[in-house]
Amino acid sequence: MKRPYLAAALLLCLTGCSRETVPADTQPPTETAPVTEAETSSPSETPTAAGQDRFTTPDAPAAPTEPPEDAVQYRALLTTLLTDNVLPDGKEVELGKPEETTFAVTDMDGDGKPELLLRLHSADTCQELLYGTDADGFLKAELKANAEVSWFTGGVATEADEAGDYTGAFVPYTLWEYEADVDGYRCAAYVNALSRAALAAEDNEDEYPEEADTSSSGTVYYIGSDLPSDVTEYTAWHDTWAEGAETLTPECLPLTEENIAAVLP
């Protein structure tokens, strides 16, 4: 940037204005302060006593972090199961093919903390187990099912029962509901059905409770009791927990050393 007094001097010369000047050899010498090494160095190159840049602060090394307690417990459970075929309760299981035993670490009950979902599906075994940790960091089982489980938002799950008799197209199931005070699931109801057509196929149609089938739907339902209910009663009860609930589809991985290390490093 041009200095103002230099610009003014140049203007005077161009306009022919004359002014008496002092000969160059009579001008007093200008004293120049010695230039120090510090002044010629850029700020970023000036070292401090510690040998570091005085204007920049080096990044401090990140403090090592310990894995959360639940991750430690889940990794130990999966590793023991993979190497020794033993569950936390001491039960021995046959794992079968690698793809038949899968797991996922995610929040299944909606409490904001990750649980360990373990699926043991093979020719001889069909189990779904959900583990969490208590307030002291110890492993605890939240749900143990001996059949395939469907999981829903809102802390609800259904365990299918393929062994129902005379149920027609209806598949009996157990309804599980999460209880925050115990941090686990409780059995809310076992739901069964009775089909008139299924009974008729076995010449047992006279056993069908016609008086309970007020809608003449051909099927009555048993909701946690031995008393048959009409389809309208079943639908109303079903909506109390199913309406607004969304199906959870956790991404389960085969139980291998590589997957354990990737999910629970």
User: Which pLDDT value is given to residue 60?
Assistant: 56
Say if residue 13's pLDDT is above 50.
no
User: Which pLDDT value is given to residue 63?
Assistant: 55
User: Which pLDDT value is given to residue 138?
Assistant: 94
- pTM across the whole model: 0.73
User: Which pLDDT value is given to residue 51?
Assistant: 46
What is the average pLDDT score of the chain? 82
Say if residue 85's pLDDT is above 70.
yes
What's the mean pLDDT in 253-257? Answer: 95
Give the start-to-end residue ranges of the domains of the chain. 66-148+249-265, 154-245
Model pLDDT for residues 22-67, shown as the tens digit of each residue: 344 444 444 555 544 444 444 444 454 444 443 444 565 655 566 6
Say if residue 128's pLDDT is above 70.
yes
Instruction: Tell me if 82 sits within 8 A of 118, measured CB to CB.
Output: no
Alpha carbon separation from 186 to 149, 155, 178, 189, 201 (Å, rounded): 14, 11, 6, 9, 36
Model pLDDT for residues 157-203, shown as the tens digit of each residue: 999 997 778 899 999 999 999 999 999 999 999 999 999 999 999 99
Residues with Cβ < 8 Å from 85, sequence gap 6 or more?
Answer: 92, 93, 94, 95
Say if residue 11's pLDDT is above 60.
no
Model pLDDT for residues 194-227, shown as the tens digit of each residue: 999 999 999 999 999 999 999 999 999 999 999 9
Say if residue 76's pLDDT is above 80.
yes
User: Which pLDDT value is given to residue 58?
Assistant: 54
Say if residue 20's pLDDT is above 80.
no
Within 56-171, strands assigned E span 101-106, 115-121, 126-133, 139-145, 149-152, 156-160
User: Which pLDDT value is given to residue 66?
Assistant: 67
